[in-house]
Structure 1
Amino acid sequence: MTQEGAKYPTVFTVDSYHTKPPPLPPRPGRRRNIGPTQVLLFLLVSVALSGMVIEAWLIYRLYHPSASTETALPSASKIIRDETLGPEPTKWSRLVEAPSKPLAHLTDGEDVKAHENNIMGWSEIPEPLLYKMTYKNGCLIFQDSGYYYIYSKVTFNVDSLVRHSIELKTKYYLGKKSITLLKSMQTSLSRPSNSFLAGVFHFYKGDAIFVKVSNMVHIARHESTENVFGAHMI
C-alpha cells in the first residue's frame, strides 16, 4: 500500500527506434574511388599476362613450324643437295648480280648474216650479253636515255684501205638515214689488222647504233673475239 500524498519521481521510457531512423543502404551503381596503387597493380598484372601469352605462342611456333617458315629456313639436307647441284638459275644468268646500269656486249659468230648497206651482224648463239638494251638487225637499241660509252673492234684480213664506223639512227635528226659517230680509215701492210673505235655519247630512248664497214669480204672471222661491239651507261 502506498501512502497517499507520497511523491515519486516521474519515469519516461525513450524508444530510440521510433525517434531515429536506421541508416539507409548504399545507393546502387555508386562507384568507389580507385587509388593509384590499384591502377599500377592492374597494369603489372596485364603486362605479366601478355608476356605469358607471347611466350606460349613462341614455344608453339618453335615446335610447330609453319609451311612458310620451312620455305624460308630450308633443312640441312636441302642445303647440301643444292650445293651439290649448284646455285639455282636466276633471271640474270650471266652474272651473280644484275648490272646496276644498262649494258651490251656482242661478238662475231658462225650464225652471223650480212645486212644491207655493209652493216655488220652479230651472233645470237650463245645468247648475247644484254641488259636494258635490245639487239635487232645489227642494231643496239637503247631503252633508257643517258650517257653511254660505246666501242667496236673489227679485224681485217687484207692489206688494203678499210673503213670502219659506228653509226646512229635517231628520230631527232630528220632527213638523214644515219649519223656517223666514230670513223676509222686505215691501210695496213700486215695481215690481219684491226680497227678499234670508242667514245662517249648521249642517247635517247629508242635511239639505235650499228657498225658499218667498207666491205664485208675483208672481215676476218677466225674467232668470235676478233670482232666485238658494245655499250654501257656511265
Structure 2
Amino acid sequence: MSCDTKTNDGCSSGYVADSAISRPLIPPRPGQKCQHGWVSHSLLIMLVNVALCGMAIQACFIYRLYQLKPLISVLSQDTPAMSSKLVGDGKKEVSLPAEWPGYSNPSKPAAHLTDGQDISHGPNVMTWSTIASPLLYKMDYKDGGLVIQKEGYYYVYSKVFFLDKNFFQHSVVLCTEKYSGKAIPLLMSEHLAPKSREAWSNSYLGGVFHLDKDSVLLVNVSNTNKLKRHRSFENIFGAYMI
C-alpha cells in the first residue's frame, strides 16, 4: 500500500507499507492453559492410583502366601512318602505310600490284610503282611488267621491272583471250638483249566456269617506257589462287622 502527502514546502513525500508483515502472535487464552494443566494433573493422579493398586495387590498375595505356609508344612508332614520300583520290562510300578496317614477308628470291628514280601506262605495256608500297615480294629491276627474278638455278623472276603493252569482251589475256612477246632469251609471256588491253557486269573470270595468270639478265619489255596505276588494288593483278606 502507498500514500502521497505534501509537506509545508510543497514537496510531496511517500511511504510504502508492506502488507506482508506478520501480525503479532495472540497469547493463549487463560482458559486454554488451565485446561491443559488439568488434563496433565488428572493423568498423573491416575498413574499414581494404578501404581498404588498394584502394590496393594502384591502385598495381598505375599500376605496370603505367608498364611498358607504353615498349612503347606502340615500337609507335607501328613502326606505319606511314596515308594516305587522298576519292574522287569523297565516300566515303573504303581507307587504306593510307605505309610498311610492316620484316620479315625471304625465304629465296629474291622480288618483288612494284604500280601507282602516280608512273609512266606505255607503249602496251603496263606499268611499276611504285618508291616504293610494292616487294618486291625478290635480283631487280632495270629499265624495267618483273623481272630474274632466280638460275637456278631461279619462280612468276610478274600481275593487272590493266581496262575490258572490245571486245577486251583481258593477257600475261606473257620476254626471254632464249637466244632472241636476243625476247619469248616465258609467260602470256596475251584478253577479247572486245560493243560494247554496257561493264564493269570482272579478268584474273589465274599459272604456274611455269624461268628463267635475267639473264632479264627483262614485263607487256604490248593498251591501257594501258583500265587502271583508282584503287588501286595493283588492278594487280600478281611472281615468287618455289619
Q: Which runs of structure 2 are paired with 1:1-234 in the superposition (5 Å)?
A: 84-85=73-74, 94-115=101-122, 118-174=124-180, 177-188=182-193, 189=197, 191-234=199-242
Q: CA RMSD in A?
A: 2.5
Q: Distance in 2 between matches of 1:101 and 1:196?
A: 23
Residue aligned with 2:157, SS: strand
Residue aligned with 2:130, SS: coil
Deviations 1:162-182 (A, max 9, x none): 0110010111112x5210111
Residue aligned with 1:125, SS: coil
**Please, what TM-score do these two structures have when normalized by structure 2?**
0.57
Contact 2:139/2:146 (8 A) holds in 1: yes
Contact 2:114/2:132 (8 A) holds in 1: no
The offset of 1:187, in angstroms, is 2.1
Q: Distance in 1 between matches of 2:215 and 2:71?
A: 43
Q: Distance in 2 between matches of 1:170 and 1:228?
A: 22
**Please, what TM-score do these two structures have when normalized by structure 1?**
0.59
Q: Distance in 1 between matches of 2:75 and 2:149?
A: 33
Q: Distance in 2 between matches of 1:222 and 1:196?
A: 18
State the identity %: 46
The offset of 1:194, in angstroms, is 1.3
**Partner letter of residue 112 of structure 1?**
I
Aligned length: 153
Residue aligned with 1:118, SS: coil
Q: Distance in 2 between matches of 1:196 and 1:190?
A: 19
The offset of 1:185, in angstroms, is 0.8
The offset of 1:102, in angstroms, is 0.7
The offset of 1:124, in angstroms, is 1.2
Deviations 1:91-123 (A, max 9, x none): xx75432110111111111012123x6110111
More strand by share: 2
Structure 2 gaps of 5+ residues are 1-68, 79-99
Deviations 1:50-96 (A, max 9, x none): xxxxxxxxxxxxxxxxxxxxxxxxxxxxxx8687335999xxx7543
Q: Distance in 2 between matches of 1:215 and 1:114?
A: 10
Q: Distance in 1 between matches of 2:108 and 2:198?
A: 39
**Which deviates more, 212-221 or 154-163?**
154-163
